Structure 1
Amino acid sequence: MSTSETFSFRVADRLAGVDTSPVRDLLEIVSKEGVISFAGGVPDPDYFEVEDVRAAYAWVFEHQPQRALQYASSEGEPELREQAALRISRDLPTTAEQIQVTTGSQEGLFVVAQALVNPGDTILVERPTYLAAVQAFDLNGAHMVGVPTDEHGVLPDELERLIGEHHPKFVYLIPSFQNPAGICMSMERRRAVADVLLRTGTALVEDDPYGELAYAGDPMPPIASLPGMSAQTILLNSVSKIIAPGVRVGWMRSEGAIQFTLTVAKQAIGLQSPVPDQLAVARYLETADVEAHLQRVRPVYAERARAMYAELERVLPDGAQVTRPDGGMFLWARLGHGIDTTRLLEMAVEEGVAFVPGASFYAHDPDTSTMRLSFVTHAPDVIREGVERLASAIERYQREN
């Protein structure tokens, strides 16, 4: 037997015993042949502005090829930081110096965890919350506590109670069209949450990748924009939903001394985000009609959200609960009836449809009868077929259990 077959690395404690990854499993499901996937938040590629993106990259390599291929600062390219600041300034005055570029907002979450979390520190998160945030915080040794939510987001009284009980390092929230539940905090709820955070002096990490995918009315301003909140908030954004997820560019807005700490953490993780992508995104945001793109996709996704909600309401068991989002990419179902959606998924894939079981979205004590479904990838007729397949899987599950 060769050395390579017998040698065993001594894995870090934080990864010892980890034999699966919900993100990796999700990506595998998305790519399965013949399966209608409601699993990933995968935008419909037919609506990518391919020519605008192509033109942005072409401009970069025509005018700045050497710069695009060279090392650069960890903070990010000045043009991109300026464009990010301009977008955030629609709700919250922001300078380019307050922007830290990241390789997607997912890297931003890991940078925040590296910068703020000591092993054993408590973080408060929504119940449920984004599964990759749970993974990033968990790998950095955080102890996460879920805050109960309703259709308007976290409950302010519960948030205040848990802050008093746990003294968290920060609170992590996705106020607009939350992943996984699809719910959007009302302005009244945002103000109530801000009041709790300000009175208790608690830091906020606000993740806002979906805010611009509002299907009715204007996008909600972030909690960070409310009076007094900007100094104690790290605000994360991404171009994944306004350009394309394959362009791995995002940014964080922060104020004060934490900016330097975030940059140091970013340097240790990836030194810099890819310069060609940064320059191309900056060019795209400067020259393309981003609002026209959003106006093109919003009604398409709104129709698909309505279609999925209607189909699920028709076939799910009596008493099942389904959120009805008016933005974003996801809705959330609670089946009840003792159904374990992790086991249900195996049958669903055999029937030719996939979703994400809800357990991975909980910091603790998961509701195993829940599931997340994305409605943005497929047209209504495909959604209808996929939900029919899901109904067949549920019927089979109930027969066999």
Structure 2
Amino acid sequence: MTMPAAAAAALPALAARAREVAASPVREILALTARPEVISFAGGLPAPELFDAAGIRAAYDRVLAERAATVLQYSTTEGDPALRAAVAGRLTRRGLATGAGDILVTGGSQQGLSLLATVLLEPGDVVLVESPTYLAALQCFGFAGARVVPVPTDEDGVRPDALEELVLRERPKLLYLIPDFQNPTGRTLPAERRRAVAEVAGRHGLWIAEDDPYGELRFEGDRLPWISSYEAAADRTVLLGSFSKVMAPGMRLGWLRAPEALLRPCVIAKQAADLHTSTVDQAAAARYLADSDLDAHLLRVRTAYRARRDALLAGLPAALPAGSTWNRPEGGMFLWVRLPAGHDATALLPAAITHDVAYVPGAPFYAADADPATLRMSFTTHTPDEIAEGLRRLTLAFG
């Protein structure tokens, strides 16, 4: 007589953080708009036709020809010494004295943010963020179990008075900011507010994560000092950077500059995460920075992006419902739109996709009290003519 097979036992549940942190709506929208006929203002992607593919290929060819045994081998967690020195040199030339020993190379600046969350945050710790803020930062802090509290903002970013009030009330451990050409709004924090933020951190004792993936994409206006450069915040600010917007995102290279009290724990956390960032990609990036003129390349990129921003700004009045408002960023990749009261950008998105055009609704970028009438538009991945056509389609969707 054959006995019936025993029923398989149920598997243990996923960790609560895996159940509670939602997928990125931006990534979901990108999947929906992957069709080539779609003109998408949704993705925060660099323009692929502007990559210096020849220069990057030459850098890979050279490091593989000259020292393949080294660049294909395991490496140190801190990162390629030449790349760390190159990053430190660029920061120093821009007014922030930095040594190679202050830099940790990461798998994109996103990993830097994850490392900070790992070494700083306990479940229930408070993190202050701009309102709205970078969506993947909200995911990162959510996985850490932090309580994320938005700081009231205006067209110039966080309000220092509101920040100080929240610091006194919430006793946060970390403040996360994107001072230059913020994602998603494209706004820039003025110098006087940067100083005020640094002084709040100095007076009340909290860490600052200063995320700067877009700072080298300034089209106009004067470069502003990093919060890291102010004496009041020098020992408590981590500066995060990336090669994704200035070289190529597929290389997945970023870096963080941190005080020693935080740098060493981040190195240990990275050892546990992935041992080290890709050796060959780091070596190629260092070679590229030595052999090529990154500043000349960035001038070409900024020139193209400025024309694309201007094309988007020129077409918005005719494309959006009467009463809509938007800003004019001085650089970066995004601008921020608010539709008139009663409009819901999420509800309108399916109609836009039907007309082969897309944007990102603003609601997911808020830690609390989302504004459903807001949306983010990226201007980097389409030519001015394509942008004009995309706006024509958007007019039909909003009609």
From 7, 15, 20, the equivalent of 2:18 is 15
The 2-side partners of 1:35 and 1:147 are apart by: 35
1:123: Cα distance to partner? 0.4
1:283: Cα distance to partner? 0.9
Match of 2:195 in 1: 191
Contact 1:177 1:184 in 2 (8 A): yes
Deviation per CA, 1:19-48, whole angstroms, max 9, x where unpaired?
643253143145233211111111221211
Does residue 200 (structure 1) correspond to residue 170 (structure 2)? The answer is: no
The 1-side partners of 2:38 and 2:319 are apart by: 19
Question: Structure 2 vs 1, CA of residues 30 and 234 (structure 1 numbering), >3 Å: closer, same or farther?
Answer: farther
Does residue 349 (structure 1) correspond to residue 353 (structure 2)? The answer is: yes
From 42, 46, 49, the equivalent of 2:45 is 42
Does residue 66 (structure 1) correspond to residue 63 (structure 2)? The answer is: no
From 149, 174, 180, the equivalent of 1:170 is 174
1:3: Cα distance to partner? 11
The 2-side partners of 1:8 and 1:345 are apart by: 38
One-letter amino acid of the counterpart of residue 24, structure 2 = S
One-letter amino acid of the counterpart of residue 271, structure 2 = Q
The 1-side partners of 2:221 and 2:297 are apart by: 16
Deviation per CA, 1:172-227, whole angstroms, max 9, x where unpaired?
00000000000111212212222222222221100001001000144322111122
Does residue 51 (structure 1) correspond to residue 54 (structure 2)? The answer is: yes
One-letter amino acid of the counterpart of residue 247, structure 2 = I
Contact 1:230 1:254 in 2 (8 A): no
In the TM superposition, 1:44-193 aligns within 5 A as 44-90=47-93, 91-193=95-197
Aligned residues: 394
One-letter amino acid of the counterpart of residue 303, structure 1 = A
One-letter amino acid of the counterpart of residue 396, structure 2 = S
Match of 1:272 in 2: 276
1:143: Cα distance to partner? 0.7
The 2-side partners of 1:224 and 1:313 are apart by: 38
Does residue 371 (structure 1) correspond to residue 381 (structure 2)? The answer is: no
The 2-side partners of 1:94 and 1:164 are apart by: 32
* TM-score, normalised via structure 1 length: 0.94
Question: Structure 2 vs 1, CA of residues 11 and 381 (structure 1 numbering), >3 Å: closer, same or farther?
Answer: same
The 1-side partners of 2:7 and 2:312 are apart by: 49
1:268: Cα distance to partner? 1.6
The 2-side partners of 1:388 and 1:12 are apart by: 46
SS at 1:146's partner residue?
Answer: strand
SS at 1:110's partner residue?
Answer: helix
One-letter amino acid of the counterpart of residue 13, structure 1 = A
Question: Structure 2 vs 1, CA of residues 7 and 55 (structure 1 numbering), >3 Å: closer, same or farther?
Answer: farther
Question: Structure 2 vs 1, CA of residues 18 and 70 (structure 1 numbering), >3 Å: closer, same or farther?
Answer: same
SS at 1:123's partner residue?
Answer: strand
The more displaced of 126-135 and 310-319 is 310-319
CA RMSD of aligned residues (A): 1.9
1:337: Cα distance to partner? 2.5
Question: Structure 2 vs 1, CA of residues 311 and 4 (structure 1 numbering), >3 Å: closer, same or farther?
Answer: farther
The 2-side partners of 1:271 and 1:243 are apart by: 23
SS at 2:240's partner residue?
Answer: strand
Match of 1:398 in 2: none
Contact 1:170 1:205 in 2 (8 A): yes
The 1-side partners of 2:209 and 2:53 are apart by: 32
The 2-side partners of 1:334 and 1:51 are apart by: 40
SS at 1:204's partner residue?
Answer: strand
Match of 1:338 in 2: 342
Contact 1:313 1:322 in 2 (8 A): no
One-letter amino acid of the counterpart of residue 171, structure 1 = L
Match of 2:215 in 1: 211
The 1-side partners of 2:56 and 2:63 are apart by: 11
Match of 1:246 in 2: 250
Deviation per CA, 1:275-330, whole angstroms, max 9, x where unpaired?
01001111111221011011111121111111112211222222212011110000
The 2-side partners of 1:6 and 1:277 are apart by: 44
The more displaced of 350-359 and 19-28 is 19-28
Contact 2:26 2:360 in 1 (8 A): no
Residue identity (%): 49
The 2-side partners of 1:196 and 1:19 are apart by: 32
SS at 2:235's partner residue?
Answer: helix
The 1-side partners of 2:351 and 2:217 are apart by: 32
Question: Structure 2 vs 1, CA of residues 40 and 99 (structure 1 numbering), >3 Å: closer, same or farther?
Answer: same
Contact 1:29 1:354 in 2 (8 A): no
Contact 1:104 1:248 in 2 (8 A): yes
1:18: Cα distance to partner? 5.3
SS at 1:393's partner residue?
Answer: helix
Query: What are the ranges of 5 or more consecutive residues in structure 2 without an aligned counterpart?
Result: none
